[in-house]
């Protein structure tokens, strides 16, 4: 239950004086439905309305608040002309100018013969002092209210600044002093004000730095937000850990045997990750671990060995991948290894024939099948395991959280391993996945080629084709990636099909086409011809982005590279450079390049380190972009900015960890205040789990 002290803050916006249903609708849209949401709606700027000159002395271009006598109304002679109101003071006359405004409203607001306080931007137009569309018009006694520094807030269509200012003012009046939940030494060191003081200060900016990301008052509120978030994650995580899993450990019999049979040595990174996984599995809690590693860093074999550990313990393992192509690829790699150690590996996709499907389903129930590799077909209701001990998910970002859970639920307290080739920046890891343990495969397996990366404007297409002719004659294999399948009417995207036809006319019979709308069987056929070298060029949409391993492919051409994100381009480039031939990645772009696109291409040319690229990507995209990522499971903060508040994020994580270590149920005095913090940020369900814990 929400503590009483917070009730006023969680009252609907509508309960504020002067906020009717219509206005509260708009306010909800821009900040949220409750009073507290208004408090969190921080200014993005300010307007200084203190400058109050005489008409004769106005500084053109400035914001001025002037006391004026209304002298005359001059309605326009045509719709195109403005409505003018002539006013003045002892020193001179000026015009208030309105376009498309209603006359009756203006007559009401600015009655001739009376005095009004008017505030807005003044200019000199044809020698006359003018103010068009004043921001504020008030009675003389309202002068002091208007003549201030006014915060500026993000608005929405239908909501102007005046009512929002009023609503926020009203909301702030509802706030009271709350018990301090922050550590006092920390507060002092950071010079953070108390919560309510910080709130009041943030909403009354006096200068540029007050509205910046680094104002102490703002940082205080942001730290509250981050701490609430980290605390909630830490609590959930510590409770999950207590939920018992199963102990999966053995003497390595099969693992040792297969290790000797692998065609390569594991890299140090792979060994490290494997050890982390195996020791997690041996613990009595449920494993939830993420393996992060660039394309080609060799995640599959690590997952395979973990699955073998489960098999050693008479348990089953499942590997789920997002596409049939990938599933087939995994199956081809792993099946022979399994055969060597007598482990039965099978495959399940959406397109299996009935007999095969029945065999597989039976084998899973009676335990004949030890490892199953499949698409999301594995999630179907009729798939039952004898005893699933480990669920592995490849390219986890292609699945939703619930799909991950569904696979996991097929076992009894099964351990879970998720893999991603999209490295997650540390900061995001902290805030979005801090309930996950993570292993990073940083180095690449030996023998990986460096990929020469070049950026070439689309206008030089013919040159590219000429060079391609030479390299193809030397046995090269090229991917040619286009952004969309069909010509879009709105954008001049080079359609993959058109490009395919064009290239096929140049390289008769050596070009294949692969796109998302093809049937799986067709896709497979094309992939196979490409893999076996019948085709030398594979024109593809981004369907090849995920996980495909074709060691012979050594050229990657990306059209309209400027339209791809940094991480995506890095993924694409990772498709080549796996074999012995020297490799190249050609980023074709159309001018003019945006600043941002230029930066992306530059970074790609500079580095091949996926982790660094991920950090740069985050910086380039900034938190603004991330606000659009609600669906992707990334957190959306109201105030914090993942990029510029990294220091606070790290501090909040440590703080949360320490708090829960010392006071796991938040029973101390500070613990009680922290519960209020959790409620304040609507982590009610987390506080409830504390109670039941």
Return d(Cα 337, Cα 262) in angstroms, integer.
8
Of residues 361 and 378, the one with the C-beta less far from Mg ion: 378
Return d(Cα 549, Cα 91) in angstroms, integer.
80
What character string, x for contact with ligand ADP (CB under 6 A) and - otherwise, covers 223-262? ----------------------------------------
Provide, rounded to whole angstroms, the least separation between the CB of residue 262 and ligand ADP: 8
Provide, rounded to whole angstroms, the least separation between the CB of residue 561 and Mg ion: 23
User: Which residue reads 């205080």 in tokens?
Assistant: 220
Residues 6+ apart with CB under 8 A from 224: 181, 182, 195, 677, 680, 681
* Position 446 contacts ligand ADP (CB under 6 A): yes
Provide, rounded to whole angstroms, the least separation between the CB of residue 547 and ligand ADP: 6
Of residues 340 and 507, the one with the C-beta less far from ligand ADP: 340
Of residues 418 and 432, the one with the C-beta less far from Mg ion: 418
**According to CB under 6 A, which one of 147, 300, 323, 349 is a site residue for ligand ADP?**
300
Using the Cα atoms of residue 278, residue 300, residue 367 and residue 316 in order, give the sign of their dihedral. Answer: positive
Provide, rounded to whole angstroms, the least separation between the CB of residue 579 and ligand ADP: 10
* Position 299 contacts ligand ADP (CB under 6 A): yes
Of residues 419 and 659, the one with the C-beta less far from Mg ion: 419
Give how far the C-alpha of residue 257 lies from the chain's centroid of Cα atoms, to the nearest Å: 42
Taking CB under 5 A as the binding criterion, the range among 462-470, 481-489, 493-501, 544-552 that sits at the site for Mg ion is 544-552
* Position 338 contacts Mg ion (CB under 5 A): no
Return d(Cα 418, Cα 395) in angstroms, integer.
8
**According to CB under 6 A, which one of 11, 149, 259, 266 is a site residue for ligand ADP?**
266
Return d(Cα 623, Cα 448) in angstroms, integer.
34
Return d(Cα 685, Cα 131) in angstroms, integer.
53
Provide, rounded to whole angstroms, the least separation between the CB of residue 325 and Mg ion: 11
CB under 5 to 8 A by kind: which of ligand ADP, Mg ion, none does 295 bind?
ligand ADP
Q: Are 192 and 31 in contact (CB under 8 A)?
A: no
* Position 673 contacts ligand ADP (CB under 6 A): no
How many CA atoms are closer than 13 Å to the CA of 642, on its beta-carbon side?
28
**According to CB under 6 A, which one of 48, 283, 443, 549 is a site residue for ligand ADP?**
549
Provide, rounded to whole angstroms, the least separation between the CB of residue 257 and ligand ADP: 18
Of residues 245 and 322, the one with the C-beta less far from Mg ion: 322
* Position 610 contacts Mg ion (CB under 5 A): no
Provide, rounded to whole angstroms, the least separation between the CB of residue 257 and Mg ion: 24
CB atoms closer than 10 angstroms to residue 481: 27
The radius of gyration of the chain's CA atoms, rounded to the nearest angstrom, is: 32
Taking CB under 5 A as the binding criterion, the range among 208-216, 230-238, 347-355, 543-551 that sits at the site for Mg ion is 543-551
Q: Which of 409, 218, 254 is nearest to 340 (CA)?
A: 254
CB under 5 to 8 A by kind: which of Mg ion, ligand ADP, none does 434 bind?
none
* Residue with nearest beta carbon to ligand ADP: 298
**According to CB under 6 A, which one of 421, 550, 648, 659 is a site residue for ligand ADP?**
421
Of residues 266 and 485, the one with the C-beta less far from ligand ADP: 266
Collapsed DSSP state (helix, strand, coil) of residue 293: strand
Return d(Cα 644, Cα 187) in angstroms, integer.
20
Taking CB under 5 A as the binding criterion, the range among 143-151, 160-168, 459-467, 540-548 that sits at the site for Mg ion is 540-548
Provide, rounded to whole angstroms, the least separation between the CB of residue 374 and Mg ion: 15
* Count of residues engaged in binding Mg ion, rule: CB under 5 A: 1
Taking CB under 6 A as the binding criterion, the range among 221-229, 232-240, 263-271, 685-693 that sits at the site for ligand ADP is 263-271
User: Which residue reads 């991950």 in tokens?
Assistant: 404
Provide, rounded to whole angstroms, the least separation between the CB of residue 337 and ligand ADP: 10
Return d(Cα 268, Cα 442) in angstroms, integer.
9
CB under 5 to 8 A by kind: which of ligand ADP, Mg ion, none does 301 bind?
ligand ADP
CB under 5 to 8 A by kind: which of ligand ADP, Mg ion, none does 120 bind?
none
Helix residue spans in 181-298 (DSSP H): 184-190, 195-202, 208-211, 216-242, 253-261, 268-282
User: Which residue reads 């929002």 in tokens?
Assistant: 164
Cα dist from 126 to 84, 129, 131, 252, 589, whole Å: 14, 8, 13, 89, 48
Helix residue spans in 438-542 (DSSP H): 461-473, 496-506, 520-531
User: Which residue reads 């403005």 in tokens?
Assistant: 82
Provide, rounded to whole angstroms, the least separation between the CB of residue 299 and Mg ion: 5
93 φ, ψ (degrees, to nearest 5)? -115, 155
Of residues 293 and 423, the one with the C-beta less far from ligand ADP: 293
3-state helix, strand, coil in the chain (%, to 5): 45, 20, 35
Return d(Cα 23, Cα 160) in angstroms, integer.
10
Q: Which of 196, 211, 204, 197 is nearest to 150 (CA)?
A: 204
* Position 556 contacts ligand ADP (CB under 6 A): no
Provide, rounded to whole angstroms, the least separation between the CB of residue 265 and ligand ADP: 6
Q: Are 131 and 121 in contact (CB under 8 A)?
A: yes
Q: Are 507 and 534 in contact (CB under 8 A)?
A: no
Of residues 41 and 448, the one with the C-beta less far from ligand ADP: 448
Provide, rounded to whole angstroms, the least separation between the CB of residue 540 and ligand ADP: 17
Omega before residue 592 within 30° of 0, cis: yes
Burial state string for 247-260 with b = 16 or more CB within 10 A and e = fewer than 16: ebebeeebbeebee
CB under 5 to 8 A by kind: which of ligand ADP, Mg ion, none does 266 bind?
ligand ADP
Provide, rounded to whole angstroms, the least separation between the CB of residue 448 and ligand ADP: 8
* Position 547 contacts Mg ion (CB under 5 A): yes
Of residues 61 and 336, the one with the C-beta less far from ligand ADP: 336
Residues between 33 and 52 with contacts to ligand ADP, criterion CB under 6 A: none
**Distinct helix (H) and strand (E) counts, the chain:** 25, 21
What character string, x for contact with ligand ADP (CB under 6 A) and - otherwise, covers 268-297? --x----------------------x-xxx
CB under 5 to 8 A by kind: which of ligand ADP, Mg ion, none does 205 bind?
none
Which residues contribute to the site for Mg ion (CB under 5 A)? 547
Which residues contribute to the site for ligand ADP (CB under 6 A)? 264-267, 270, 293, 295-301, 421, 445-446, 547, 549
């Amino acid at each position: 239950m929400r503590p009483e002290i917070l009730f006023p803050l969680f009252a609907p916006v509508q309960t504020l004086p002067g906020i009717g249903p219509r206005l509260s609708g708009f306010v909800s849209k821009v900040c949220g439905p409750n009073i507290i949401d208004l408090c969190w709606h921080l200014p993005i700027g300010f307007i200084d309305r203190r400058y109050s000159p005489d008409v004769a002395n106005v500084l053109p271009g400035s914001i001025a608040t002037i006391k004026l006598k209304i002298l005359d109304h001059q309605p326009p002679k045509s719709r195109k002309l403005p409505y003018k109101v002539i006013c003045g003071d002892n020193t001179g006359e000026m015009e208030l100018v309105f376009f498309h405004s209603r006359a009756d409203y203006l007559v009401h607001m600015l009655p001739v013969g009376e005095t009004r306080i008017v505030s807005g931007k003044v200019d000199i137009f044809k020698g006359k002092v003018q103010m068009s569309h004043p921001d504020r018009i008030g009675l003389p006694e309202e002068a002091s209210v208007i003549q201030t520094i006014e915060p500026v807030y993000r608005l929405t269509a239908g909501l102007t600044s005046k009512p929002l200012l009023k609503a926020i003012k009203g909301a702030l009046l509802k706030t009271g002093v709350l018990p301090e939940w922050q550590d006092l030494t920390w507060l002092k060191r950071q010079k953070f004000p108390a919560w309510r003081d910080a709130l009041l200060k943030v909403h009354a900016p006096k200068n540029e730095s007050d509205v910046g990301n680094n104002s102490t008052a703002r940082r205080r509120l942001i730290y509250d937000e981050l701490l609430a978030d980290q605390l909630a994650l830490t609590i959930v995580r510590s409770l999950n850990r207590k939920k018992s899993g199963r102990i999966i450990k053995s003497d390595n019999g099969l693992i040792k045997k297969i290790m000797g049979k692998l065609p390569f040595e594991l890299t140090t990174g792979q060994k490290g990750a494997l050890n982390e996984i195996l020791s997690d599995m041996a613990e009595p809690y449920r494993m939830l671990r993420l393996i992060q590693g660039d394309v080609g860093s060799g995640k599959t074999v690590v997952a395979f060995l973990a699955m073998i550990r489960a098999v050693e313990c008479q348990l089953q393992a499942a590997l789920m991948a997002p596409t049939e192509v990938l599933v087939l690829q995994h199956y081809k790699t792993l099946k022979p290894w399994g055969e060597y150690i007598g482990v039965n590996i099978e495959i399940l996709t959406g397109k299996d024939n009935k007999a095969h499907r029945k065999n597989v389903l039976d084998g899973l129930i009676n335990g004949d099948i030890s490892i199953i590799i499949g698409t999301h077909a594995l999630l179907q209701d009729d798939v039952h395991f004898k005893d699933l001990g480990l669920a592995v998910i490849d390219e986890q970002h292609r699945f939703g959280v619930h799909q991950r859970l569904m696979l996991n639920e097929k076992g009894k307290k099964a351990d879970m391993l998720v893999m991603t080739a999209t490295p997650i920046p540390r900061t995001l890891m902290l805030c979005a996945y801090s309930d996950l343990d993570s292993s990073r495969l940083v180095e690449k397996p030996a023998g990986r080629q460096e990929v020469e990366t070049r950026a070439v404007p689309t206008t030089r297409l013919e040159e590219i084709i000429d060079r391609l002719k030479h390299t193809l004659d030397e046995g090269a294999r090229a991917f040619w990636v286009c952004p969309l399948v069909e010509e879009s009417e709105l954008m001049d995207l080079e359609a993959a099909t058109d490009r395919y036809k064009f290239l096929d006319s140049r390289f008769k019979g050596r070009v294949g086409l692969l796109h998302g709308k093809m049937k799986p069987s067709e896709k497979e056929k094309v992939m196979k011809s490409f893999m076996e070298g019948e085709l030398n060029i594979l024109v593809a949409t981004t369907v090849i982005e995920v996980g495909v391993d074709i060691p012979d492919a050594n050229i990657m051409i990306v059209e309209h590279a400027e339209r791809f994100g940094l991480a995506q381009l890095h993924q694409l480039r990772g498709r080549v450079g796996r074999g012995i031939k020297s490799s190249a990645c050609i980023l074709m772009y159309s001018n003019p390049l945006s600043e941002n696109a230029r930066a992306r291409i530059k970074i790609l040319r500079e580095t091949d380190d996926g982790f660094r690229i991920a950090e740069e990507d985050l910086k380039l995209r900034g938190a603004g972009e991330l606000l659009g990522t609600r669906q992707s499971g990334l957190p959306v903060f109201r105030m914090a900015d993942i990029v510029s508040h990294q220091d606070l994020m790290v501090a909040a994580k440590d703080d949360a960890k320490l708090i829960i270590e010392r006071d796991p149920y938040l029973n101390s005095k500070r613990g009680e205040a922290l519960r209020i913090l959790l409620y304040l940020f609507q982590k009610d369900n987390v506080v409830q789990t504390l109670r039941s814990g």
